[in-house]
């Protein structure tokens, strides 16, 4: 009946056979990964989303003492044109007493412009303080109405359940009044 003994059963034949199967298996793995990768990468931000990954902001219309809110990557950005009083208040703090110790100088590039992400680091509500008449909390910065977090004029957490200071987004000044966020 069918011949079950395979001819050419020498060691050489076996290594060649093993190489063949190894090559087939390896190429198969490579091919599968290469085929799956586009599917995974397609879920990464697309070109149109990446194009909106940075926003340019003209600061010149913002007066001293005025706060504005802009959107960046779907998040609110609080921009505060700080008067000298706010800057002084931010800098006359003992850093060690802060829950999230950070010097004001490390949180701003130009002292009179504070730029932070307006999302409370507790559970994600938007703290109040941007609009005229809003409560600003005990330190004159921002107050989160959801669970009572107080942020100071540098956006640092002073009281309440939030663990961290308001995040500072990456930004750079393109000139004196034009800043690119992201």
Partner 1 sequence: MKKLLTVAAAVLAFGTGAAQAAEGTALPEYHWSFNGIFGTFERPELQRGFQVYREVCSACHGLRLVAFRDLAALGYSADAIKALAADYTFKDGPNDQGEMYEREGRPSDHFPSPFPNEKAAAFANGGSAPPDLSLMAKARKGGPDYVRALLMGFEEAPAESHIPEGLYYNIYFPGHQIAMPPPLSADAVEYSDGTPATVEQMATDVAAFLMWAAEPTLEQRKEMGIKVLIFLLVFTGVLYAAKRKIWSDLH
Partner 2 sequence: MSEFKSNNAVIKWIEYRMPIFSFLDDAIGRGYPTPRNLNYWWNFGSLAGVALVIMIATGIVLAMQYTPHATMAFDSIERIMRDVNYGWLLRYVHSNGGSFFFLVVYVHIFRGLYYGSYKEPRELLWILGVVILLLMMATAFMGYVLPWGQMSFWAATVITNLFSAIPVFGDQIVTWLWGGFSVANPTLNRFFSLHYLLPFVIVGVVVLHIWALHRFGSNNPIGIDAKGPQDKIPFHPYYTIKDAFGFGVFFIAFAAVIFYAPNLFGEPDNYVEANPLATPAHIVPEWYFLPYYAILRAIPNKLLGVVAMFGSILVYFILPWIDRSPVRSARFRPIYKQFFWIFVADCVLLGYVGANPPEGNFLLIGRLATAYYFLHFVIMFILSYVERPRPLPSSISEPVLKGGAAAAGAAAKPMEKA
Catalytic residue numbers, as ranges: 147
Residue of 181, 169, 168 lying closest to 55 (CA atoms): 181
Stretch 42-81: interaction string toward partner 2, x if CB under 8 A: xxx-xxxx--------------------------------
CA-based R_g, the chain, Å: 29
- Report how far residue 147's alpha carbon sits from residue 2's, in angstroms, rounded to the nearest whole number: 81
- Report how far residue 38's alpha carbon sits from residue 35's, in angstroms, rounded to the nearest whole number: 7
Asked if 3 touches partner 1 (CB under 8 A), the answer is yes
- Report how far residue 121's alpha carbon sits from residue 60's, in angstroms, rounded to the nearest whole number: 29
Q: Which does 5 bind (CB under 5 to 8 A by kind): partner 1, partner 2, none?
A: partner 1
What 3-state DSSP class applies to 61? coil
Q: Which does 132 bind (CB under 5 to 8 A by kind): partner 2, partner 1, none?
A: none
Q: Which does 46 bind (CB under 5 to 8 A by kind): partner 2, partner 1, none?
A: partner 2
Q: Select the residue interacting with partner 1 from 39, 40, 43, 47 (CB under 8 A).
A: 47
- Report how far residue 114's alpha carbon sits from residue 87's, in angstroms, rounded to the nearest whole number: 9
Stretch that binds partner 2, among 37-45, 59-67, 99-107, 114-122 (CB under 8 A): 37-45
Q: Select the residue interacting with partner 1 from 45, 46, 51, 86 (CB under 8 A).
A: 51
Phi, psi of 158 (to 5 degrees): -120, -30
Q: Interface residues with partner 1 (CB under 8 A)? A: 2-8, 17, 20-21, 23-24, 27-28, 30-31, 34, 47-48, 51-52
């Amino acid at each position: 009946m069918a011949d079950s003994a395979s001819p050419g059963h020498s060691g050489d034949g076996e290594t060649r056979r093993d190489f063949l199967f190894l090559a087939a298996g390896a190429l198969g793995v490579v091919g599968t990964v290469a085929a799956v990768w586009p599917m995974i990468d397609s879920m990464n931000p697309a070109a149109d989303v990446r194009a909106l990954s940075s926003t340019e902001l003209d600061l010149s219309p913002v007066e001293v003492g005025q706060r504005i809110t802009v959107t960046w990557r779907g998040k609110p950005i609080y921009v505060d044109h700080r008067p000298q009083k706010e800057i002084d208040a931010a800098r006359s703090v003992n850093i060690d007493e802060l829950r999230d110790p950070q010097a004001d100088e490390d949180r701003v590039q130009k002292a009179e412009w504070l730029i932070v992400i307006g999302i409370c680091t507790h559970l994600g509500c938007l703290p109040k303080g941007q609009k005229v008449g809003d409560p600003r909390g005990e330190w004159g910065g921002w107050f989160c109405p959801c669970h009572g977090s107080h942020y100071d004029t540098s956006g640092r957490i002073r009281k309440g359940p939030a663990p961290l200071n308001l995040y500072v987004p990456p930004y750079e000044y393109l000139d004196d009044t034009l800043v690119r966020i992201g």
